[in-house]
A and B are shown apart, each in its own frame.
Chain A
Amino acid sequence: MSPVIPVGPYHPALEEPYKIELDCDGEAVREAHITVGFNFRAIEWLAERKNYTQDLALVERVCGICSNVHTLTFSRALEQLAGVEVPARAQHIRVVVHEAERLHSHLLWAGIAAEVIGFQTLFMTCFALREKVMDLLEAVSGNRVNYAMNKPGGVTRDIVDPGMVAATAQAIRTAMEREIIPVFTTDRTVRARCAGVGVLTRDEALAWGALGPVARASGLPQDIRKAAPYEIYDRLDFEVPVRPEGDVLARIVVRALEIVESCRIIEQAVDGMPAGPIDAGDFIPVPAGEACARIEGPRGEVFYYVASDGSDVPLRVRIRTPTFQNMPTVALMVREQTLADVPLIQASIDPCYSCTDR
């Protein structure tokens, strides 16, 4: 048998094209090399050649799963440059959409993880629940993916039926607590596949700069929503789940608990939503200068740097996504694991290579 086993660029376990080459000894993995770049579409280059309104739609397509995160961070960077205040109602709507996106992203991930360990029924259950979130997002934004909700100074669409949003959040919370979390944590075959697999210790997570749920599953309590609150997060009551084990099961549990917390956040944000305008005007002039913005996306910290010369086209847009930080830890985690674990371990960081490649 050939000693190097390529996984990808097109592989059933991978949603996206990228390649892991495994130096194997039978089924045991000795070393892994990751190749990315299949999704490189030169988005930053394009962003420097389009005006700010066009760039909003462009950065939304950095990633189809966490699209809202990108427009939100980009808008926040522009607001910082322009010195614009976002109306309170718009802030609440932003938080609702932001957390709804976290819900669908985490449910999607839970489904993919179940699929990767061959647990089709659980995959279907997660995706069936996810459809509720998709309906919510479609009702609010008019599209299931790529919501186009944010713009500098506010949001584009109002939430007309807050009752429905709160009810959906509650239904998802109940279903998570009653169905999905118990199966993931107690089912014996799931435990056999996930517990103790792909361990990333706290020190390694720190040294390799892991972000988001991956870091939190390794015992690092880091979350931008707590560390540097944006929008209305400083006024909301929510927990940041942290697990010390650092294995795949811990990552599952952290994300599952985050879903529950996100539902609580949505309920609170809808509850306290004030009346008022939802934006601060249509075309907001962006003066010369530079700004950074960062927020906590579903996969971890998303970072934007925008430089402007005062025209309507940015000088530079720099995007750093969480997978860029988390991806190298895969090579660390798959060592001395079996071949069967590799798809699961790579999936456990919730990789988004279209984010990383841009």
Chain B
Amino acid sequence: MNILGLISRNFRRDPATYRYPERHVPATRFRGIVRNDTAKCIACGICDHVCVSGAIVVVGHDDHCDWSYDPGRCTFCGRCVDLCPGEALSQDGDRAPTYARSGDLAQGEQITYPACPECGLPARPYNERLLMIAHDDISPEFRERIKLCERCRRRRSQTVLTKGLGGAADTERNADGA
């Protein structure tokens, strides 16, 4: 086809243009603004570790963790979403809105550490999916223990251990006595 054919074809066809404000919608797997599902977030900080532009910053405190994110700094590379162990992070399927001042789009999430059922002090959050990956079969006893804070968990382990060992020692002693 020569150029005359090309322009006459263009002329005969309707223009390929989207009339503003109609627009070309992104593909379904588009990588937009990152969202954090605090229910799944375990505050591990991997997103902060892999974020090249410092868009995601994770700061841990005693009883909570601040997860902050500024789309104005984001490269939308999706590495944080890929590598998020708990699948807490996801990306919007559409583009971010324009904004007027630097930092306008910045958002923060607070991941509150759940209270330890035993002592009431903050415990590390946990994520069901990660548990399933780490352990195929979870006993009710283990499930209860995962909710405890580190100290209580250690104490619980200690008690179980002592009890177990104590029982064993008793049996041994009994055997000796026999």
Residue numbers of A with Cβ under 8 A of B are: 50-51, 53-58, 60-61, 121-122, 125, 128, 135, 138-143, 146, 148, 151, 156-157, 178-179, 182-183, 186-187, 282-283
Contacts of A151 in B (CB 8 A): 82
Given contacts A138-B27, A143-B30, contact A179 B1 (CB under 8 A): yes
**Secondary structure of the B side of the interface?**
loop
B79, chain A: closest CB distance, angstroms: 6
Q: Is B49 an interface residue (CB 8 A)?
A: yes
13 A–B contacts, CB within 8 A, in A order: A53-B52, A57-B75, A58-B52, A121-B3, A121-B6, A135-B27, A142-B27, A143-B30, A146-B77, A148-B31, A148-B78, A179-B6, A183-B1
How far apart sit A31 and B93, CA to CA, in the bound complex (Å)?
Answer: 52
Residue numbers of B with Cβ under 8 A of A are: 1-3, 6-7, 10, 16, 26-31, 49-53, 75-79, 82-83, 91
How far apart sit A121 and B30, CA to CA, in the bound complex (Å)?
Answer: 31
Contacts of A55 in B (CB 8 A): 52
How far apart sit A187 and B83, CA to CA, in the bound complex (Å)?
Answer: 52
Q: Which of B6, B31, B49 contacts A143 (CB 8 A)?
A: B31
Q: Which of B30, B75, B82, B91 contacts A146 (CB 8 A)?
A: B75
Other 14 A-B pairs with CB < 8 A, given A57-B52, A58-B52 = A54-B50, A57-B75, A57-B77, A121-B7, A128-B16, A139-B27, A141-B31, A142-B30, A142-B91, A143-B76, A148-B78, A179-B1, A182-B2, A183-B2
How far apart sit A309 and B33, CA to CA, in the bound complex (Å)?
Answer: 35
**Secondary structure of the A side of the interface?**
helix
A111, chain B: closest CB distance, angstroms: 14
How far apart sit A182 and B1, CA to CA, in the bound complex (Å)?
Answer: 6
For A139, give the chain B residue with the smallest CB separation: B27
Residue contact B30 to A51, C-beta cutoff 8 Å? no
Residue contact B50 to A53, C-beta cutoff 8 Å? yes
What total count of A-B pairs have CB within 8 Å? 76
* Most B-side CB within 10 Å, residue of A57, A139, A151: A57
Q: Which 7 A-B pairs have the closest CB atoms?
A: A54-B52, A142-B31, A57-B52, A148-B77, A53-B50, A139-B27, A57-B77
* Most A-side CB within 10 Å, residue of B6, B82, B83: B6
How far apart sit A183 and B1, CA to CA, in the bound complex (Å)?
Answer: 7
Residue contact A61 to B27, C-beta cutoff 8 Å? no
Contacts of A142 in B (CB 8 A): 27, 29-31, 78, 91
Q: Which of A50, A51, A60, A283 contacts B77 (CB 8 A)?
A: A60
Contacts of B10 in A (CB 8 A): 121
Contacts of B82 in A (CB 8 A): 151, 156, 282
Residue contact A57 to B79, C-beta cutoff 8 Å? yes
How far apart sit A55 and B26, CA to CA, in the bound complex (Å)?
Answer: 27
For A157, give the chain B residue with the smallest CB separation: B29
How far apart sit A51 and B1, CA to CA, in the bound complex (Å)?
Answer: 52
How far apart sit A135 and B3, CA to CA, in the bound complex (Å)?
Answer: 26
For B78, give the chain A residue with the smallest CB separation: A148
Contacts of B7 in A (CB 8 A): 121
For A179, give the chain B residue with the smallest CB separation: B1
B17, chain A: closest CB distance, angstroms: 10
B26, chain A: closest CB distance, angstroms: 7
How far apart sit A92 and B52, CA to CA, in the bound complex (Å)?
Answer: 28
Contacts of B79 in A (CB 8 A): 53, 56-57, 148, 156
For A148, give the chain B residue with the smallest CB separation: B77
Q: Which of B27, B31, B83 contacts A282 (CB 8 A)?
A: B83
